[in-house]
Structure 1
Amino acid sequence: MKSIVTLAFIICSFCSFAQTEKDLENQVEKLRLALIDPTESNLKELSSASLTYGHSSGTLENQDQFIEALVSGKSDFASISFENQEILVEKNIGIVRHYLVADVVEGDKINPIKIGVMLVWQKEKGSWKLLARQAYKLP
């Protein structure tokens, strides 16, 4: 009987972990879509008030600056894909690594970019919120 209870606990724990990882993966996809079609409400919903957002250029933004840059069009993406994504969840923290491949609108030109990104997500009141992001140049 003990082994059945233990097995049931292990199965439930695995299913819960898999669902948590899937929930985070869904939030990352919402972020990708919000970067292409940004609104203040969708970006606020996805990010923490304590957000620190680092660009590959070294520029750092807080939540308000991050939202303003996207909503104003200062940062403008025509398309974005996330490649080679890896997700690690540890309790209420999620770490996501991927390559961001995008077409960036700069004036009347569209420039392709490919950078590495690490996202740190924290579960706040049952929802995953982006707490930190750091982009870096690839070799």
Structure 2
Amino acid sequence: MAAHDVDSQASREALLAAERRLYQAMIDNDLAALGDILSDDVTYVHSTAVAEGKALYLERVAAGHYDYKSIESRDVTLRIRQDLAVISGTLDMAVATGGGPTLMMHLLFVLVWTRQNGEWKLSLRQATNIPG
């Protein structure tokens, strides 16, 4: 196995683990973990077309504006290009927003990760609601 193959496999495993950590931190309302996972210049785009930077997203999570109950990805594709990686697929998410009822959402999602100081950080999250 060539050196880049080993790095690619290690990067692949690290990225898929980072995706799982992201979702668990969202469910657990773990601000410290989210702060570590998110790039300082992240743009977090919700399926409602609301876009938030890191500070605003963390502020809203801390205030209980987002109450994530479950998050599961499927049909995931991972592409790695040196220090940039894209994870895309389908997301099934149960979430209550702004104190409202918990809704089960089915989304197409894209996560853009950048390697910063040897660690993968989430730089962009985009979700689109799947009708029906």
Unmatched runs of 5 consecutive residues or more in structure 1:
1-9
Give the alignment partner of residue 130 of structure 2, picking from 119, 134, 138: 138
Q: Deviations over 1:87-131 (max 9, x none)?
A: 111000010102120111253632111111101000011100000
Aligned-residue RMSD, C-alpha: 1.4
Give the alignment partner of residue 116 of structure 2, picking from 102, 124, 127: 124
CA distance, structure 2, for counterparts of residue 122 and residue 26 of structure 1: 14
Letter in 2 for 1:109: P
Task: Give the aligned partner of residue 32 of structure 1.
Answer: 23
Aligned residues: 130
Letter in 2 for 1:48: S
TM-score by length of 2: 0.91
Task: Give the aligned partner of residue 82 of structure 2.
Answer: 91
Q: Deviations over 1:64-106 (max 9, x none)?
A: 1111222221011111111111111100001010212011125
Letter in 2 for 1:131: S
Give the alignment partner of residue 114 of structure 1, picking from 95, 106, 117: 106
Matched, 1:61 2:45: no
Secondary structure in structure 2 of the residue aligned to 1:65: helix
Letter in 2 for 1:73: G
Letter in 2 for 1:42: A
Letter in 2 for 1:47: L
Identity of aligned residues (%): 24
Query: By how many angstroms is 1:40 displaced?
Result: 2.1
Unmatched runs of 5 consecutive residues or more in structure 2:
none
